[in-house]
């Protein structure tokens, strides 16, 4: 008579079993504020704060090239002529970076356009962190320069390498 | 003395023995085998979404980088689902009357996020972090498959613990050079550095990657 009762008692801990796949704790995949489909509506200004332009270095321009190819080439194209794939599919064509007006524009102008958007271009403030905006601006300036370089700008070694 | 069992007891004994064997086999299958099958993990099943978004069109067709939409994959545990604002960056100008995109326009107008359904499900006792995998040379396609060929998105891997451990036990063969991480069509060639060289280059330790606390906390 005692034994079945004891065996039944052994089953009691099973009552503590629950579904471990759902746990109400801090976890990027459990937190409803970051779970897919629940992006806060005011997230446009992600990590947004004004920063001073960083010193111009090769690393900055290379970072800018990487981010430019992610966020900008779909419309502006890798050349910056404004004939990217999305433009070819019907998006209004942005001006070429080679326009005189834009060649004369300071990096701050490109920083501001990324932050606030311009014309048909939406703001990229939420997608491109301030440091990366400066990097992209630096790369755009390099892109402009690359297509207006004269032979005289090259070093002697580089000139020797020309065909 | 009369027989203890009637002749029909032979049948009953057989049925009971067979039943127990079947129960054991069935129980083993249900408990151990079924959860590990691709069928139960729904590998390759298209998940219904509020908008039939095509990665094939956006990635292979238009050449948009993964990070245009999944912006936080390099810096956060979560790769980041794009808010409607990102969709409307282009669709405020393109396909503006498409019936298909009505939920997207509505979402922006009402400030209500599109509730996408989870495709790659992992249990909440797993602390997966995208950024460390990207930083150490694991490509998107190693887990997510050829997303650029998915007209509708589905889970390409089982995402069972076995799946994770297969790589954590020997990560080298699954690492790739930095410039190939977002390349969904990349595969190892003769020029690719050896697995050991890549481990060295990324500073992946040749131990500890199967510790419980790496994934469970």
For residue A117, give the CATH number of its domain.
1.10.760.10
- For residue A56, tell me if it sits in a domain: yes
Give the total number of structural domains in chain A.
1
Write the DSSP symbol of residue A45: G
CB-CB neighbors (< 8 A) of A71 in chain B: 67-68
Query: Averaged in consecutive runs of 10 residues, what is the pLDDT profile of chain B (217 residues)?
Result: 83 95 94 88 91 95 95 90 91 92 91 87 88 94 94 93 93 92 90 92 87 89
Q: Per the domain annotation, does A37 fall within a domain? A: no
* Structural contact between residues A120 and B94, judged by C-beta atoms closer than 8 angstroms: no
Over the stretch B51-95, which tens digit does the pLDDT of each residue have? 999 999 999 999 999 999 999 999 988 888 898 989 999 999 999
Judge whether A100 lies within some domain: yes
Residue A43, chain B, CB below 8 Å: the answer is: yes
- Å from A98 to nearest chain B CA? 23
Helix (H) or strand (E) holding B89: helix B84-91
Q: What are the residues facing A121 on neighbouring strands? A: A118
Domain ranges for chain B, please list them.
Answer: 55-67+116-121+132-215
Of the two residues A150 and B166, the one the predictor is more confident about is B166
SS3 B165: helix
Domain membership flag for residue A111: yes
Chain B nearest-CA distance from A151, in A, is 32
| Phi, psi at A28, each rounded to 5° | -55, -25
d(C-alpha B211, C-alpha B215), whole Å:
8
Cα distances from B86 to residues A35, A108, B24, B81, B89, in angstroms, run: 17, 23, 53, 10, 5
What confidence category does residue A34 fall into, taking pLDDT thresholds of 50, 70 and 90? very low
The reply to whether A158 falls in a domain is no
Task: Tell me whether residues A36 and B81 touch, CB distance under 8 A.
Answer: yes
**Record: contact B68-A70, CB cut-off 8 A:** yes
Residues of A in contact with B129 (CB under 8 A): 28
A84 part of a folded domain:
yes
| Beta partners for residue A118, in sequence order | A121
Q: Within an 8 Å CB–CB cutoff, is residue A26 touching chain B?
A: no
CB-neighbour burial class of residue B26 (10 A; exposed 0-12, middle 13-18, buried 19+): exposed
Instruction: Assess if residue A136 is contained within a domain.
Output: yes
Domain that holds residue A80: 44-153
* Distance between CA atoms of residues A81 and A103, nearest Å: 12
Please tell me whether the interface predicted TM-score (ipTM) of this complex is above 0.95.
no
Band (A26; pLDDT cuts 50, 70, 90):
low
**Whole-number Å distance between alpha carbons of A14 and A7:** 12
Residue A29 lies in a domain: no
Per-residue pLDDT at A29: 57
């Amino acid at each position: 008579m005692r034994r079945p009762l004891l065996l039944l008692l052994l089953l009691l801990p099973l009552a503590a079993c629950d579904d471990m796949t759902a746990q109400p704790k801090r976890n990027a995949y459990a937190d409803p504020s970051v779970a897919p489909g629940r992006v806060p509506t005011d997230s446009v200004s992600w990590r947004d704060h004004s920063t001073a332009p960083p010193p111009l270095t090769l690393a900055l321009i290379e970072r800018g090239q990487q981010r430019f190819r992610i966020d900008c080439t779909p419309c502006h194209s890798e050349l910056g002529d404004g004939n990217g794939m999305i433009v070819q599919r019907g998006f209004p064509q942005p001006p070429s970076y080679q326009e005189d007006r834009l060649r004369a524009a300071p990096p701050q102008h490109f920083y501001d356009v990324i932050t606030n958007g311009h014309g048909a271009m939406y703001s990229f403030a939420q997608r491109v962190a301030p440091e990366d905006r400066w990097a992209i601006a630096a790369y755009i300036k390099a892109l402009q320069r690359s297509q207006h370089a004269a032979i005289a700008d090259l070093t002697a070694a580089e000139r020797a390498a020309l065909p | 003395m009369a027989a203890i069992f009637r002749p029909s007891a032979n049948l009953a004994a057989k049925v009971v023995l067979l039943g127990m064997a079947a129960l054991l086999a069935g129980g083993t299958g249900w408990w151990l085998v079924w959860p590990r099958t691709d069928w139960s993990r729904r590998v390759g099943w298209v998940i219904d979404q509020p908008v039939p978004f095509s990665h094939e069109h956006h990635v292979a067709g238009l050449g948009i980088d993964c990070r245009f939409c999944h912006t936080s994959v390099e810096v956060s545990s979560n790769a980041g689902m794009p808010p409607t604002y990102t969709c409307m960056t282009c669709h405020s100008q393109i396909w503006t009357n498409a019936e298909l995109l009505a939920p997207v326009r509505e979402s922006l107008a009402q400030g209500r996020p599109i509730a996408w359904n989870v495709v790659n499900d992992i249990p909440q006792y797993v602390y997966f972090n995208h950024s460390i995998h990207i930083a150490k040379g694991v490509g998107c396609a190693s887990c997510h498959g050829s997303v650029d060929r998915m007209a509708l998105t589905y889970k390409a891997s089982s995402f069972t613990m076995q799946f994770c451990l297969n790589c954590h036990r020997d990560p080298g063969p699954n690492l790739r050079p930095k410039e190939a991480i977002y390349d969904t069509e990349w595969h190892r060639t003769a020029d690719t550095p050896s697995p050991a060289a890549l481990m060295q280059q990324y500073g992946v330790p040749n131990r500890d990657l199967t510790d419980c606390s790496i994934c469970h906390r």
